[in-house]
Amino acid sequence: MYGLTKEEIKLFKRLNTPVKIQDFLDGFKINFEEEGDTCMSPRMVLKERKCHCIEGAILAALILRVNGHPPLLVDLEANSRDFDHVITVFKKDGMWGAITKTNHAVLRYREPIYGSIRELVMSYFHEYFDDKGRKNLRAYSLPVNLSRFDGIGWMITEDEVWEIPEFLAEVKHFPILIKSQIHCLRRADAVEIEAGKIVEWKENSKKKK
């Protein structure tokens, strides 16, 4: 199946719900890219036992695919003050949810309770702020089916899969705010900013208990 090994298929078949996939991703160390930018394939993530947001999203999409779901990613686009975030989306009982990999206390898993992709994306808006409390989420893509990248062997290659983030950056995005709304945004308060500093992994450390 898809060129995967028997061991990989056995592992992925055990991870047969979005909840199990999220718990699996949470066990991986964050990829701090100590030796430069990476976009590892799922096979390399399994080998290295670490990943950052898009690497985790791609792996989650593959596991969903093995279990009969389309491998769908959505790009959350920030303004120039912040970083984009990539989520793996899925549907259950006609509603959207999301699997994510992040080092922070926010921008995490979403239950499948959202009626549209926009509604799902908006659940991240108030959490998407920087150290100065500025709310920076500005646009989102519709789901991108990773089957379009089957020709580069994205699931099993040992090479980087930069074609995926490059495509996500260029695909059409839909704005979530108009200018008058941007001008009226209230900054996150001190309590929110302090809570936003919580991280799951520290560089060169084991997972915090």
Nearest to 107 by CA among 78, 79, 72, 142: 78
Mean pLDDT of 146-160: 98
Looking at the 3D structure of the chain, how many domains does it have?
1
Compute φ and ψ for 95, nearest 5 degrees: -115, 150
Mean pLDDT of 13-42: 97
172 belongs to a structural domain: yes
Collect all residues with Cβ–Cβ distance below 8 Å to 29 and sequence separation of at least 6: 49, 50, 201, 207
> Looking at residue 208, what is its pLDDT?
35
Residue 204 has pLDDT above 90, yes or no: no
Kindly indicate the confidence band of residue 38, based on its pLDDT and cuts at 50, 70 and 90. very high
SS (H, E, C) 73-119: EEEEEECCCCCCEEEEEEEECCEEEEECCCCECCCCCEEEEECCHHH
152 belongs to a structural domain: yes
171 belongs to a structural domain: yes
> Looking at residue 205, what is its pLDDT?
54
Give the Cα separation of 110 and 105 in Å (integer): 13
Residue 141 has pLDDT above 70, yes or no: yes
> Looking at residue 203, what is its pLDDT?
84
Give the Cα separation of 60 and 87 in Å (integer): 9
207 belongs to a structural domain: no
Mean pLDDT of 182-202: 95
202 belongs to a structural domain: no
Q: What is the pLDDT of residues 47-65, one digit of tens each?
A: 999 999 999 999 999 999 9
Give pTM, 2 decimals.
Answer: 0.95
SS (H, E, C) the chain: CCCCCHHHHHHHHHCCCHHHHHHHHHCCEECCCCCCCCCCCHHHHHHHCEECHHHHHHHHHHHHHHCCCCCEEEEEEECCCCCCEEEEEEEECCEEEEECCCCECCCCCEEEEECCHHHHHHCCHHHCECCCCCECEEEEECCEEHHHHHHHCCCCCCCCCCHHHHHHHHCCEEECCCHHHHHCCCCCCHHHHHHCCCECCCCCCCCCC
208 belongs to a structural domain: no
Structure tokens at 112: 């499948």
Report the percentage of the chain scoring pLDDT > 90: 95
205 belongs to a structural domain: no
| Domain boundaries, position 139 | 6-195
CB atoms within 10 A of CB 140: 23
Residue 209 has pLDDT above 80, yes or no: no
- Burial class for 125, CB neighbours closer than 10 Å (0-12, 13-18, 19+): middle
Give the CATH number, domain containing residue 51: 3.10.620
Mean pLDDT of 32-38: 96
Residue 207 has pLDDT above 60, yes or no: no
Write down the mean pLDDT value for the chain: 96
203 belongs to a structural domain: no
